[in-house]
């Protein structure tokens, strides 16, 4: 078998432009020429740094945070005010308590689809929630998309203590969880994973079945209050 030495091909005129040969005799690329020294930094240069007493650049002062807020991050109230401009729907997450057999649930507006394959959804739960431990232990959950007339239902499910299902009518999903009367849609699912995120948990759930029922407007949450969608 014959062998051939590797050869670096350089476009015509490139070597002359650099002022040195592009290869040496054995076919190995020659080292590039040394770079010219950098000019001294001067006041007003694009680097934004003026030379100090020792001739080295003096670091520029850090920029002031916008609106005078501390650089450590926004305060809780300001965070809520800004994020409240993002309108969301409202869902009721329901299940049957495996110990008592009674329905349990909670309201949430941090709900989203995650994946089509496999079908996954997600919602966020505060660490302080007293309803989530009961829902988690049930294994199977149902996410009810609330309609515009469900504001009292959402408030009832969001309240602490008491019978959250008092006066509510519901049927069972294929997985056995409550589907609230008049819900726009229901999503039967089970907990796939939980991820710690600050003062909340991000719960990922696998969808087993789902359907849409009512053809009416959704319940909307915007700037800390409930509203309706006006098409």
Peptide bond into 118 cis (omega under 30): yes
Q: Cα separation of 224 and 95, whole Å?
A: 26
Angle (CA) 188 143 191, round 5°: 65
Structure confidence by residue, pLDDT tens digits, 20-56:
333 333 444 444 445 455 444 444 434 444 445 555 5
Q: What is the pLDDT of residue 102?
A: 96
| CA within 13 Å, CB half, 86 | 7
Q: What are phi and psi of 76, to 5 degrees?
A: -60, -40
Could you say which DSSP state residue 99 is in?
T
Q: Cα separation of 157 and 183, whole Å?
A: 14
Predicted confidence pLDDT, tens digits, the chain (231 residues): 444 443 333 333 433 333 333 333 344 444 444 545 544 444 443 444 444 555 555 555 545 555 555 566 888 889 988 988 999 999 999 999 999 999 999 999 999 999 999 999 999 999 999 999 999 999 999 999 999 999 999 999 999 888 999 999 999 999 999 999 999 999 999 999 999 999 999 999 999 999 998 788 999 999 999 998 876
Q: What is the pLDDT of residue 83?
A: 87
Residues 6+ apart with CB under 8 A from 223: 81, 84, 85
Residue-wise over 191-205: b if at least 16 C-beta within 10 A, else e? bbeeeeeeebbbbbb
Report CA-CA distances (Å) from 101 to 68, 104, 123.
Answer: 54, 9, 24
Q: Cα separation of 201 and 57, whole Å?
A: 47
Structure confidence by residue, pLDDT tens digits, 110-135:
999 999 999 999 999 999 999 999 99
Q: What is the pLDDT of residue 10?
A: 33
Q: What is the pLDDT of residue 229?
A: 84
Instruction: List strands edge to edge, sheet with 225-228.
Output: 88-89, 219-222, 225-228
Q: Where are the domains of the chain?
A: 89-221
Q: Cα separation of 150 and 195, whole Å?
A: 29
Report CA-CA distances (Å) from 27 to 23, 72, 163, 229.
Answer: 6, 57, 85, 73
CATH homologous superfamily of 89-221: Electron Transport, Fmn-binding Protein; Chain A (2.30.110.10)
Six-digit token string for 93: 């997450």
| CA within 13 Å, CB half, 131 | 26
Query: Is the CB of residue 140 less than 8 Å from the CB of residue 177?
Result: yes
* Residue 107: Cβ-neighbour burial (10 angstroms; 0-12, 13-18, 19+): buried
Q: What is the pLDDT of residue 162?
A: 85
Q: What is the pLDDT of residue 42?
A: 45
3-state secondary structure of 48: coil
Residue with tokens 């505060």: 126
């Amino acid at each position: 078998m014959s062998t051939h030495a590797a050869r670096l091909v350089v476009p015509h005129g490139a070597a002359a432009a650099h002022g040195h040969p592009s290869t040496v005799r054995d076919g190995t690329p020659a080292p590039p020429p040394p770079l010219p020294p950098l000019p001294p930094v001067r006041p007003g240069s694009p680097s934004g740094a003026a030379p100090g007493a020792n001739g080295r650049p003096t670091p520029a002062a850090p920029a002031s945070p916008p609106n005078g807020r501390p650089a450590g991050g926004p305060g809780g109230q300001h965070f809520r005010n800004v994020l409240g401009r993002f309108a969301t729907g409202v869902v009721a997450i329901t299940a049957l308590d495996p110990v008592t057999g009674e329905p349990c649930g909670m309201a949430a507006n941090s709900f989203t689809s995650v994946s089509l394959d496999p079908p996954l959804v997600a919602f966020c739960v505060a660490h302080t929630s007293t309803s989530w431990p009961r829902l988690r232990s049930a294994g199977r959950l149902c996410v009810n998309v609330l309609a515009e007339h469900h504001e009292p239902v959402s408030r009832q499910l969001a309240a602490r203590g008491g019978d959250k299902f008092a006066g509510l009518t519901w049927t069972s999903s294929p997985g056995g969880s409550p589907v609230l009367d008049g819900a726009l849609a229901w999503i039967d699912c089970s907990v796939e994973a939980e991820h710690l995120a600050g003062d909340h948990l991000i719960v990922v759930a696998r969808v087993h079945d789902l359907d849409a029922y009512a053809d009416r407007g959704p319940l909307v949450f915007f700037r800390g209050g409930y509203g309706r969608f006006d098409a």
